[in-house]
């Protein structure tokens, strides 16, 4: 019995050692894993910190670049652009050097960022985009084909086509109807998107009505023959956009090209007003129009010149119809 008991003890003794060896081996491997996890964690933290510090300079670069982009266009570049634009214009009846300079000066005043709205795609379109390189330049034109071609040739340009329902031959009647509705659909302060005024353009992209335009150029649509759309709607719309804007500067520079023509001159006198005319340069009229209160129903403070213009427009002689279709469009 003793020997049997001893045998059992001897037999159990190795198994105890084996179990202890397993336990010790397991604990040893566990400690190795803990050390491995610790080392990996340390290296991960170190790598993360290194990556963070290495990206700090690059994260500040956009700030410095953005600050660089809001600097005004250097005068030397502006002068060069105007020079070459005027030189290329010398062989065809486009804007003169004086006219280009007048518009460029207004863009400089609202730099480094201007909202510039242009009616008409013309020879000078790319020049305006270059001079307003920090701002937003939007083109509106009557030709869907020209707009599409212009956008394809110059990616990044923002241009839209419009449908005009007006005609130069209907000009006197349009003036009369608009004045009769000045306290209703054709008031000077409103969102034209919801207007039924025949002179108002209400098919522009919706977001354009809320932009505080700094400069507006009316150099389109065509207006040199009786069935042409004429620039009545463009001039009226420009005047309402200027008076209705809620943000930005309190005034808007509005330029009307071919100002010598009856339609352009009389519409400007009615809706942009003689008291707002600051200069005429060759065939370019320059107006500065202030924003107005929402309950305003008069376009011009001095209605004398306006009424005289309307009377002359309602009784334009037949010979003046030729002058309506004379001149040039870009």
Residue 27: exposure state from Cβ atoms within 10 A (0-12, 13-18, ≥19): exposed
The residue that leads in pLDDT, 117 or 85, is 117
Quick one: pLDDT at residue 258? Answer: 96
Tokens 């307003």 locate to 132
Three-class SS state of 289: strand
Residue 262 pLDDT more than 90? yes
Q: What is the mean pLDDT of residues 184-188?
A: 95
Q: What is the mean pLDDT of residues 302-330?
A: 42
CB of 213 closer than 8 Å to CB of 111: no
Percent of the chain with pLDDT over 70: 65
| Angle at the Cα of 23 from the Cα atoms of 19 and 29, rounded to 5 degrees | 140
Non-local CB neighbours of 133 within 8 Å, separated by 6+ positions = 73
Give the phi and the psi of residue 130 in degrees, each rounded to 5. Answer: -70, -45
Quick one: pLDDT at residue 319? Answer: 33
Residue 229 pLDDT more than 60? yes
How much is the pTM? Answer: 0.71
The residue that leads in pLDDT, 123 or 280, is 280
Nearest to 238 by CA among 185, 199, 196, 293: 199
Structure tokens given for 192? 């034209």
Give the phi and the psi of residue 209 in degrees, each rounded to 5. Answer: -70, -20
| Angle at the Cα of 107 from the Cα atoms of 101 and 112, rounded to 5 degrees | 135
Residue 128 pLDDT more than 70? yes
Nearest to 177 by CA among 202, 203, 199: 199
Strand partners, 251: 290
How far apart are alpha carbons 142 and 147 in whole angstroms? 8
CA distances to 18, 58, 126, 154 from 278, rounded to whole Å, are 105, 48, 26, 34
Quick one: pLDDT at residue 113? Answer: 86
Q: What is the mean pLDDT of residues 321-329?
A: 37
14-18, 269-273, 283-287, 302-306 — which is least confidently predicted?
A: 14-18
Q: What is the mean pLDDT of residues 289-318?
A: 65
Nearest to 244 by CA among 194, 205, 283: 194
Strand partners, 281: 284
Residue 151 pLDDT more than 90? yes
Structure tokens given for 4? 């049997």
Strand partners, 277: 287
CA distances to 66, 133, 169 from 71, rounded to whole Å, are 9, 10, 46
Q: What is the mean pLDDT of residues 250-254?
A: 96
What average pLDDT is seen over the chain?
79
Quick one: pLDDT at residue 67? Answer: 42
Q: What tens digit of pLDDT does each residue of 51-100 get?
A: 555 544 444 444 444 444 466 666 757 666 766 666 665 555 589 999 99
How far apart are alpha carbons 201 and 235 in whole angstroms? 10
CB of 126 closer than 8 Å to CB of 215: no
Quick one: pLDDT at residue 62? Answer: 40
CB of 279 closer than 8 Å to CB of 241: no
């Amino acid at each position: 019995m003793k020997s049997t008991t001893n045998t059992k003890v001897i037999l159990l003794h190795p198994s105890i050692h084996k179990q202890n060896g397993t336990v010790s081996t397991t604990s040893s491997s566990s400690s190795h894993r803990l050390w491995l996890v610790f080392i990996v964690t340390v290296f991960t933290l170190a790598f993360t910190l290194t990556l963070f510090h290495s990206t700090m300079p690059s994260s500040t670069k956009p700030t410095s670049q953005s600050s660089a982009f809001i600097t005004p266009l250097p005068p030397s570049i502006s002068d060069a652009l105007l020079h070459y634009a005027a030189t290329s214009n010398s062989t065809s009846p486009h804007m003169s050097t004086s006219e280009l300079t007048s518009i460029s000066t207004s863009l400089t005043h609202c730099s480094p960022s201007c909202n510039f709205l242009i009616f008409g795609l013309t020879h000078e379109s790319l020049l305006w985009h270059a001079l307003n390189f920090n701002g937003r330049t939007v083109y509106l034109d009557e030709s869907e084909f020209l707009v599409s071609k212009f956008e394809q040739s110059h990616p990044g340009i923002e241009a839209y086509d419009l449908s005009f329902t007006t005609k130069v031959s209907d000009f006197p009647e349009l003036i009369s109807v608009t004045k009769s509705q000045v306290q209703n659909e054709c008031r000077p302060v409103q969102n034209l998107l919801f207007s039924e005024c025949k002179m108002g353009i209400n098919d522009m992209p919706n977001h354009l009505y809320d932009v505080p335009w700094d400069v507006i150029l009316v150099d389109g649509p065509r207006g040199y023959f009786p069935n042409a759309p004429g620039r009545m709607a463009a001039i009226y719309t420009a005047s309402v956009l200027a008076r209705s804007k809620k943000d930005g500067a309190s005034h808007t520079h509005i330029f009307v090209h071919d100002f010598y023509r009856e339609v352009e001159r009389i519409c400007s006198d009615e809706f942009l007003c003689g008291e707002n005319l600051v200069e005429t340069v060759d065939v370019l009229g320059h107006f500065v129009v202030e924003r107005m209160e929402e309950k305003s129903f008069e376009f011009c403070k001095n209605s004398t010149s306006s009424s005289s213009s309307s009377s002359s427009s309602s009784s334009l002689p037949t010979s003046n119809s030729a002058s309506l279709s004379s001149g040039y469009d870009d």
